[in-house]
Amino acid sequence: MSTLNDFGSIDTCHILDIHEKYGAPAYIYDWAAIAERCSRVLSMPNAFGLTVRYAMKANSNRTLLREITGLGLHIDASSLAEARRAVMAGVGCEKIILSSQEIPCGSDRDTLEDMMKHGLLYNVCSLRQLRLIGEFAADSGIALSMRVHPGVGSGESASRNTGDHYSCFGVHLRDIGAALEYANGLGLKFTQVHAHIGSGGDPDLWRENIERELSILERHFPDAVSISFGGGLKEARMPGEDSADTEALGRYAAERLSAFYARTGRKLNMEIEPGTYIVANAGYALTRVMDKKSTGDGGFNFIVVNGGMELNARPAMYGSRHPFYVISRDGKLLSSEFGPIGGNFSAIVAGRCCESGDTQNVGADGRSVPRAMAEPEVGDFVVIGGAGAYCSSMAPFNYNSYSQAPEVLVRQDGSIQLIRRRQELEQIVANEAIDD
Ligand SMILES: Cc1ncc(COP(=O)(O)O)c(C=O)c1O
């Protein structure tokens, strides 16, 4: 038995056991690793209080939501449906912030109002949203948060940068005056200012945003008692990458918030809403080798596995890199990119979807890039690491009519728990069967 790496507790016995019970493909989550990340962010240094919200878009599984909030994290929801899902998992509305591009209407609007009356914090993300929610909030005496568009952002890829002018999240600085004039007319208060500059970006730019956001708050938001610096804490998925230093970021934020207090007399609670940092490296996608091919001289070796972009779309979407673990069918770790066992077989790991882009290592030009690993045989396993965030929740899982993979949680005592069953084909077509 060998653990796959030195930062997690998943070992090759878990892989065989999970495969035997639930098959492949499957997602596997390491609760010890999630709990460790939760405790790290909850103990970040802060000046006048800290609220950590788990960005549930990263992974919305009900058991994970329940367990993570059980440790003291609150929830960041990106849609009313996510907020409802958190409530269905047992999370109180008062622990949820909603930052959404969508403006609920019809019965969804009623649900939103009800949730706001029960304490959900609505994060106004545009002038139009404010105009649609303002009167209800003012009449009900409910204070709001405002997501500002900081004008500067940083992300793992251009499409994950949410703060620059290619991205339309939040109330643009140009519109803040009009928004506040409207809110003041209604007697509406903003008790929080929020910005999220992007996902997986440069920690130095995350730090820089603190000062920028504080100055926006100081200039425009006299009632704010809380400031959210969003998510985006960088997590290294591959060897050689660096994760955000949460201790140092917390110390810096605390120092800036203390200086702000010394200058203005205002003590601000700090909020952050990490998703990736909490779950990314706690997750693995288990796949089985189905075929081996080669594209000849000047071409590449291909290892074809039974789960690709429909399990993990991040390489195809963002060019993201995920580590591979090759495990023999009898449970021997043949190679791990975290050493000490490397491999000298160069291959592209291809999925089973009818897409040439369905591989797990895509370069900047959209072409697949081979990686060094041990050479597996058909029937062996390729486990894709760094698959806890934005995999199960974001992949196009029904493409080619494949079924959504099961999710399995490995508890701290090593026991395994099925936390989502494999989808059946009948469930995929269930809503189409209206003429039968
Ligand atoms: C508003 C907001 N908060 C938090 C997050 C979580 O980001 P990450 O998973 O990089 O921590 C996101 C993701 O893009 C987001 O849009």
Residue type for position 237: R
Q: Please choose from 57, 192, 194 the residue to mutate so as to test ligand 1's pocket, defined by most ligand atoms within 8 A of CB.
A: 57
Interatomic CA distance for residues 283 and 33, integer angstroms:
9
* Res 160: pLDDT: 82
Q: What is the pLDDT of residue 153?
A: 84
Cis peptide leading into 340, omega within 30 of 0? yes
Beta carbon of 274 within 6 Å of any ligand 1 atom: yes
Q: Is 41 in the pocket of ligand 1 (CB under 6 A)?
A: no
Say which range, 171-185, 339-353, 401-415, has the weakest mean pLDDT: 339-353
The CB of 277 under 6 Å from ligand 1? The reply is yes
pLDDT of residue 156: 83
Which superfamily, per CATH, for 31-279? Alanine racemase (3.20.20.10)
Tell me the mean pLDDT in the region 186-206.
92
What does the pLDDT average to over 50-74?
98
- Contact predicate 339/372, CB 8 Å: no
Task: Identify the pLDDT of residue 436.
Answer: 64
Task: Find the mean pLDDT for residues 54-80.
Answer: 98
Q: Whose CA is nearest to atom 4 of ligand 1?
A: 231
Rounded percentage of the chain residues whose pLDDT exceeds 90: 89
Residue ranges of the chain that CATH labels 2.40.37.10: 12-28+280-432
Whether 196 lines ligand 1, by a CB cut-off of 6 Å, is: yes
Rounded to whole angstroms, how far apart are CA atoms 337 and 260?
A: 44
What was the pLDDT predicted at 17?
98
230 in contact with ligand 1, CB cutoff 6 A:
yes
Instruction: Give 375 Cα–ligand 1 centroid separation in angstroms.
Output: 37
> Using CA atoms, how far apart are residues 256 and 253, in angstroms rounded to an integer?
5
Beta carbons of 372 and 346 less than 8 angstroms apart: yes
Ligand 1 and 200: CB distance under 6 A = yes
Quick one: average pLDDT of 155-172?
A: 87
Structure confidence at residue 197 (pLDDT): 87
Average per-residue pLDDT for the chain: 95
Distance 416 CA to ligand 1 centre (A): 29
Please return the burial class of 110, using the count of CB atoms within 10 Å of its CB with bins 0-12, 13-18 and 19+: exposed
Q: What tens digit of pLDDT does each residue of 209-267 get?
A: 999 999 999 999 999 999 999 999 999 999 999 999 999 999 999 999 999 999 999 99
Q: How far is the CA of 180 from the centre of ligand 1 (A)?
A: 25
Q: Does ligand 1 lie within 6 Å of residue 162's CB atom?
A: yes
Q: What separation in Å is there between the alpha carbon of 54 and the centre of ligand 1?
A: 9
Instruction: Specify the CATH number for 12-28+280-432; select among 2.40.37.10, 3.40.50.1240, 3.40.50.300, 2.160.10.10.
Output: 2.40.37.10
The phi and psi torsions of 30 (rounded to 5 degrees) equal -105, 105
Pairing state between β 301-305 and 345-350: parallel
Instruction: Provide the pLDDT confidence category of residue 342 given band limits of 50, 70 and 90.
Output: confident
Task: Tell me what pLDDT residue 283 has.
Answer: 98
pLDDT tens readout for residues 304-324 = 999 999 999 999 999 999 999
275 Cβ inside 6 Å of ligand 1: yes
Q: Which part of the chain is CATH 3.20.20.10?
A: 31-279
With 80 as the cut, is the pLDDT of residue 360 above it?
Answer: yes
Spatial neighbors of 326 by CB under 8 A, at least 6 apart, are 333, 334, 335, 336, 343, 373, 374, 376, 380, 381, 382, 383
The pLDDT tens digits for 13-24 are 999 999 999 999
